[in-house]
Amino acid sequence: MIKAVVDNLKGLWSLVVGLSVTGRFFLSPQKTVHFPRDVVGPEILESFRGPLELVPADDQGGSKCISCQMCARACPGDCITVVKGDAGKAPKEYKYDFTLCCLCAACVESCPAGAIRFSHRVYMVARSREELRLDLLADLRERCGLEPAPAPAPADKTKAVA
Amino acid sequence: MDLSIANFAQIIIACLLVIALMVGNAVVMVYVERKACGFIQRRPGPYEVGPRGILQAVCDSMKLLGKQIYVPGNIDWILYFLAPVLAFFPVLLLYLPIPFGRHLTAMNVDEGILLILAFSGLGVVSNILAGWASNNKYGILGAARAVSQAVAYEIPMIMALLAIVFLTGSLSLTEIVERQGSWPWQWNIVVQPLAFFIYLVSLVGETNRAPFDLPEAESELTAGFHTEYSGMGFALFFLSEYANMLLVSFVCAAFFLGGYKGPFMDGFWWMFIKAYAVMVFIVWIRWTFPRVRFDQLLNINWRWLLPLSILNLWVTAVIVRFI
């Protein structure tokens, strides 16, 4: 009997504690960002998984990729197509279909050369499926400033929105 | 009270003012509720419609007005359309004995609180009818819950109010307010803290608000008794929910918080300030506590509130009789 009363008094006190927590939250500043007027900082995007991108090996648009096909094999959604180049190990073509990608990171983890990673493009907009079928080599060259953006350029749109 | 033309006109005017108050209250409370919810969850709440989202509630009500009234098949037509009306109109009557000032009462009856308690039961009837008539399993479950919840929570609520009635010796709300002083330490809450607490808990249960919103628990019963109502049918339920909230807050203010009396200057503004403080507290509770399970809800009532309220009433009676 006494235990029940004490337990219930403790329970009541926990309700007061709960009220004080929400009351404090009510008065403290907000955590959300009003998107069109304000954007989140890059440090928050550190852990954001956007579409894949190639890691630049140098500033000449070269990648670390050795065309070993490990990423294409590891991918559960078959969204990566790598074509080996004629000379050397560098790929001739690296196509990535973002519509099929589930952002599982199997490719990133399986890559022996550490050549791919997730980008932090959070404000990406596409108006058709074609725009989401990315050419990562072109994207890499574009990021190095070697090539103007091709016609369906998701990277360009990203910048425009951000 | 004689039924002269003047009295009749007074009641008509009061009813119109009460309707205006109910609608205005619903619009304000929708905004307050959503803003408070947002702030508690550390987001801005409605922000885009009008400056700081002020017009959000107006847009919501326009949306409800413009919506198609979708009627499910195999319903009980009379009861289905009677239920929202029955939820809305008794509330008009309930506001009549509320004293907003010494003489600012629509109908100053001696049995004011009796009138309120008796006719507030009609709200539950409308919930039951709505759940039953809409031929929906969620509706029926919500209605069944509404019955047992209302039966359970009316008793400690009445017991808590009775303790004040014992102290005052009157059922008239004006008389009860007149017996209290202007300053907080002269209010009934100081003499009857336990009754105030019991009333506060059963008030949340009585108005079907979270954490006691079992009859319309969204996550379990989609919307409970008003699942099948759309457009204005739903709007009437919605309106009457907020009107009931405001009513119990007014009663709470009159019984425990000194009603229209307050520091420096008595007047209806104190009544509104106190009632809306209680309303904000109800909203605050809603966004703090999770919904209780149904057996927990009834356990709180039958095992704690009811014995406590009987004990409180008994002690009050003894004190009033012998001291």
What letter does residue A92 receive in the DSSP assignment? Answer: E
Convert the pLDDT of each residue in A5-20 to its tens digit.
888 889 889 989 989 9
Per-residue pLDDT averaged across B277-300, rounded?
Answer: 88
Convert the pLDDT of each residue in B221-245 to its tens digit.
877 778 888 778 888 888 888 888 8
Residue B188 identity: N
What letter does residue A128 receive in the DSSP assignment? Answer: S
Yes or no: say if B211 and B58 are a contact pair by the CB < 8 Å rule.
no
Yes or no: say if A129 and A47 are a contact pair by the CB < 8 Å rule.
no
Residue A26 has pLDDT above 70, yes or no: yes
How far CA B208 is from CA of A84, A86, B236, in Å, comes to 67, 74, 15
Residue B218 has pLDDT above 80, yes or no: no
Residue A153 has pLDDT above 80, yes or no: no
Per-residue pLDDT averaged across A125-151, rounded?
Answer: 79
Yes or no: say if B230 and B223 are a contact pair by the CB < 8 Å rule.
no
* Contact at CB, A34 and B287, closer than 8 angstroms: no
Residue A161 has pLDDT above 50, yes or no: no
Place B3 in a pLDDT band, splitting at 50, 70 and 90.
Answer: low
How far is Cα A98 from Cα B85, in angstroms, rounded to an integer? 54
Inter-chain contacts counted by CB atoms under 8 A, chains A and B: 35
* Contact at CB, B40 and A30, closer than 8 angstroms: no
Convert the pLDDT of each residue in A57-75 to its tens digit.
877 778 888 888 888 899 9
pLDDT confidence of residue A157: 42
Its pTM stands at 0.77
Residue A148 has pLDDT above 70, yes or no: no
Residue A35's CB is within 10 A of a number of other CB atoms, namely: 11
Per-residue pLDDT averaged across A129-141, rounded?
Answer: 86
pLDDT confidence of residue A28: 86
pLDDT confidence of residue B309: 92
Residue B215 has pLDDT above 80, yes or no: no
How far is Cα B306 from Cα B298, in angstroms, rounded to an integer? 10
Token pair of A14, please? Answer: 């926990």
Residue B82 has pLDDT above 80, yes or no: yes
H/E element holding A116? strand A116-118
Domain regions of chain A by residue span? 43-161
Residue B219 has pLDDT above 60, yes or no: yes
* Contact at CB, A19 and B288, closer than 8 angstroms: yes
Residue A41 has pLDDT above 50, yes or no: yes
H/E element holding A160? helix A154-161
H/E element holding A94? strand A91-97
Task: Give strand pairing partners of A63.
Answer: A56
Residue A22 forms contact with B (CB below 8 Å): yes
Give how far A19 is from chain B: nearest CA, Å.
Answer: 6
Spell out which chain B residues touch chain A, with contact meaning CB-CB distance below 8 angstroms: 36, 39-44, 47, 284-285, 287-289, 304
Of A18, A29, A31, Cβ closest to residue B288? A18
Residue B92 has pLDDT above 70, yes or no: yes
Task: Tell me, letter by letter, the H, E, C secondary structure of chain B.
Answer: CCCCHHHHHHHHHHHHHHHHHHHHHHHHHHHHHHHHHHHHCCCCCCCCCCHHHCCHHHHHHHHHHHCCCCCCCCCCHHHHHHHHHHHHHHHHHHHCCCCCCCCCCCCCCCCHHHHHHHHHHHHHHHHHHHHHHCCCHHHHHHHHHHHHHHHHHHHHHHHHHHHHHHHHCCCCHHHHHHCCCCCHHHCHHHHCHHHHHHHHHHHHHHCCCCCCCHHHCHHHHCCHHHCCCCHHHHHHHHHHHHHHHHHHHHHHHHHHCCCCCCCCCCCHHHHHHHHHHHHHHHHHHHCCCCCCCHHHHHHHHHHHHHHHHHHHHHHHHHHHHHC
pLDDT confidence of residue B2: 59
Residue A60 forms contact with B (CB below 8 Å): no
Quote the mean pLDDT of chain B: 85
Residue A152 has pLDDT above 50, yes or no: no
pLDDT confidence of residue B70: 81
Q: Which chain B residues have a beta carbon less than 8 Å from that of A29?
A: 42
Yes or no: say if B282 and B245 are a contact pair by the CB < 8 Å rule.
yes
Q: Which of B33, B35, B42, B284 to mutate to test the interface with A (most CBs of A within 10 A)?
A: B42
Residue A128 forms contact with B (CB below 8 Å): no
Q: Report the top-level CATH class of A43-161.
A: alpha beta
Residue A47 forms contact with B (CB below 8 Å): no
Residue B107 has pLDDT above 80, yes or no: no
Give how far A11 is from chain B: nearest CA, Å.
Answer: 12
Of B39, B47, B285, Cβ closest to residue A26? B39
How far is Cα A14 from Cα B100, in angstroms, rounded to an integer? 36
Convert the pLDDT of each residue in B121-153 to its tens digit.
888 888 888 888 888 888 888 888 888 888 888
pLDDT confidence of residue B311: 92
Residue A40 forms contact with B (CB below 8 Å): no
The nearest alpha carbon in chain B to A11 belongs to B300
The nearest alpha carbon in chain A to B281 belongs to A19
How far is Cα B191 from Cα B151, in angstroms, rounded to an integer? 27
Kindly tell me the sign of the dihedral angle through the C-alpha atoms of A68, A73, A77, A78: positive
